[in-house]
Amino acid sequence: MKEIVLDTETTGISIKEGHRIVEIGCIELENLIPTKKTFHHYLNPERKVSEKALEVHGYTDDFLSNKKKFFEIVDDFINFIEDKKLIIHNAEFDLSHLNNELKILGKKPILNEVTDTLILARNKFPGSPSSLDALCKRYRIDNSSRTLHTALIDCDLLAKVYINLIDQKEPTLDFQNQDTQHKNETNEQISYFKKVVVLSEEERKNHQIYLKSNLKKNFF
């Protein structure tokens, strides 16, 4: 099954205030594995970026001024996501902006099946932080490249978070014979073996004799 991990950046929060999309990023997954097919564009929003949005993604009016406009990439975008489930963190926000852009052009809204990872995370970890950064921390996903919000980087991180969320991966104890490494408080590496002791037939017989002669005396 093919899915599209999607993220947008905008000039501000509310479409009611005329805010527009400045970046779209998409990564295709097939059976939860990235296919290396991506869709990515910076966009000229034809308006100024708000100060708060600038703090989030860092895209200045000057940087965006020579980028393509949404109408120039819309057909390629629709073809890329067509008939595929969308994976979005806080889907209501991204879809409201995407559908607003489509409405401006007189096009139909997005009707794809959508999985909102924000809702997944809140259901799985009620009361816990559910931001993308918080989920990366929970699943030990390296998000050091995310100094600012950028659509394609966020998609890459979200794909990894999504796979963990739906796979319900939890730490498990491994009792097989193996070297296991732990770190003590000084970060010094300590290695130890978990050993399974197998009794010989003679030891097993002696143990049975011991049990028969001692259980009644001690417990009855």
41, 89, 149, 182: which is the annotated catalytic residue? 149
Residues 142 and 191 in one domain: no
**Domain assignment of residue 174, yes or no:** no
Q: How many domains does the chain have?
A: 2
Beta strand 33-42 with 21-30 is: antiparallel
Active site residue 149: yes
Q: Are 99 and 111 in contact (CB under 8 A)?
A: no
**Domain assignment of residue 43, yes or no:** yes
pTM: 0.75
**Domain assignment of residue 173, yes or no:** no
Residue position matching structure tokens 């009794």:
199
pLDDT in tens, 80-125: 999 999 999 999 999 999 999 999 999 999 999 999 999 999 999 9
Residue 211 lies in domain: 179-219
Residue 43: which of 151, 118, 145 has the closest Cα?
151
pLDDT in tens, 126-160: 999 999 999 999 999 999 988 778 899 999 999 99
pLDDT in tens, 15-24: 999 999 999 9
**Domain assignment of residue 129, yes or no:** yes
| Residues whose CB falls within 8 Å of the CB of residue 156, separated by 6 or more in sequence, listed in order | 27
Residues 159 and 190 in one domain: no
**Domain assignment of residue 137, yes or no:** yes
Residues 57 and 31 in one domain: yes
Residues 69 and 156 in one domain: yes
Token digits for 114? 């959508």
Token digits for 120? 């997944």
What angle is formed at CA 16 by the lines to CA 72 and CA 159, rounded to 5 degrees? 60
Say which CATH number the domain at 145 has.
3.30.420.10
